[in-house]
Amino acid sequence: MMDINRVQSLVQDILASEFPNDARRQKVYVSGNRLNFSCPYCGDSKSGHKKRGNFYLDTLSFKCYNGGCSIFKDGITFLKDFRKFDNLNSGEKTDILFQIRENKEKRVTRYGDFDVFEVLDGDFSDIVIPRSFLMKKLSLVSVIGTEIEGYIRSRNQVPDDRFLWDAYGKRIFILNLTKDKNILGLQTRNMESRYPGSSKYLTYKLSGIWTKMLKATDSEFIEKTYRLDPISSIFGIGTVNLSLPVTVFEGPLDSFLYPNSIATCSVENKVPFEMDGLRFWDDWDDAGRSKSTERLMNGEFVFNWGKFLADHSISTNGKWDLNDLVNYLRSTGTKIKRFEGYFTNDKLDIRWFIEG
């Protein structure tokens, strides 16, 4: 564990730089393995009296509990954001990297023989699919400037690299990308009945893309792609920060609307790792309410749709997902309370799901 006096000194320097004329905001309080101080991101309050910024020595993480901020950062990002990481010597940098990684490993478990960190830290450059390669092989184009761009925007989405358009097949390709913009998996959305009898949404794992779309036949190569299949249909897994709270949605498009989120593509699909920061935002329909009730009884955090809708005088009848909600809020100009306050693992809240 990093020396508390050393961390306090770095924090003190940050506060002196961010609040040079405010002695109250430069004050740091020590409580066990936690430092409490004014949040250098939001400043907390007008007076500086309330201090909602907290740096935890055991996890080397920063969290602001100010409702208008709620920043959560690992220690390295926190120090880099305020140009203090380079103040550490090489030994301190090694220690902080080790401690943050060790904390991640305690929070995340293996899924069978698959370690989720392999996709984050391993080299799978030979089996993930370059976006440009898929475009060329399947004659796909970027969505900007096409007939489908309006639809993408109507779903409150940015028509960026996560989408491609199949003009002949009339299909949107929704991509599960790594940080390097390579493809782990994808989902197609049929916009017309050119593929009669097929589902509106079809999800492809990495091996399925190679075999069904790209017609790969090398058995040894295909066998290797199976290694990433457990997470290739978990949208966002290649870019999410597992040291922060992770919100789990059913649909990829909903997950694109919310920070640090992933999507499982079905309410029945499991997340292939376990961690303390998981919370589930299932759809507000029969299947979603049932699954949320099950999760709640298991002590997991879920989004309390019933209470949220009631608090904002929105109908609990019918189906809601995040995209539907965003459309409604924008069309009506409804002001809402922060979503963060509606995640619960209190079993007594089950009434909101049963009554809904």
Q: Are residues 33 and 93 in the same domain?
A: yes
Q: Which of 107, 137, 165 is the last residue of a domain?
A: 107
Lowest-pLDDT range of 61-65, 164-168, 225-229, 259-263: 61-65
What is the Cα–Cα distance from 210 to 216, expressed in whole angstroms? 5
Two tokens at 287?
Answer: 């299947």
Same domain for 127 and 216, yes or no, is yes
Residue 190 domain flag: yes
CA nearest neighbour of 228 among 335, 339, 334, 122 = 122
- Residue 182 in 3-state DSSP? strand
**Domain boundaries, position 39:** 4-107
Q: Are residues 126 and 228 in the same domain?
A: yes
User: Does 247 map to a domain?
Assistant: no
Residues 80 and 127 placed together within one structural domain of the fold: no
Per-residue pLDDT band at 47 (split at 50, 70, 90): low
Total domains, the chain: 3
In a domain, 221, yes or no: yes
Which of 315, 323, 321 minimizes the C-alpha distance to 356? Answer: 315
Same domain, 70 and 124: no
Residues 143, 203, single domain; the answer is: yes
Query: What pLDDT score does 355 carry?
Result: 66
pLDDT band per the 50, 70, 90 thresholds, residue 212: very high
The whole-number pLDDT of residue 320 equals: 95
Q: Supply the CATH number for residue 71's domain.
A: 3.90.580
**Regarding predicted confidence, which is higher, 68 or 249?**
249
Query: Cβ-count burial of 112 within 10 angstroms (0-12 exposed, 13-18 middle, 19+ buried)?
Result: exposed
Of 68, 73, 12, nearest to 42 by C-alpha is 68
Is-contact 165 186, C-beta < 8 A?
no
Determine the 3-state secondary structure of 167 from DSSP. coil
What letter would DSSP give residue 235?
B
Residue 257 within any structural domain of the chain = no
- What's the pTM? 0.69
Residue 263 lies in a domain: no
Last residue of a domain, one of 107, 134, 165: 107
From 103-112, 115-124, 251-260, 307-316, the region with the lowest mean pLDDT: 103-112
Look up residue 6 and give its two tokens: 């050393």
Among the candidates 232, 253, 269, a domain finishes at 232
DSSP β-ladder status, 278-281 and 301-303: parallel
Task: Kindly report which listed range (63-72, 119-128, 193-202) carries the lowest average pLDDT score.
Answer: 193-202
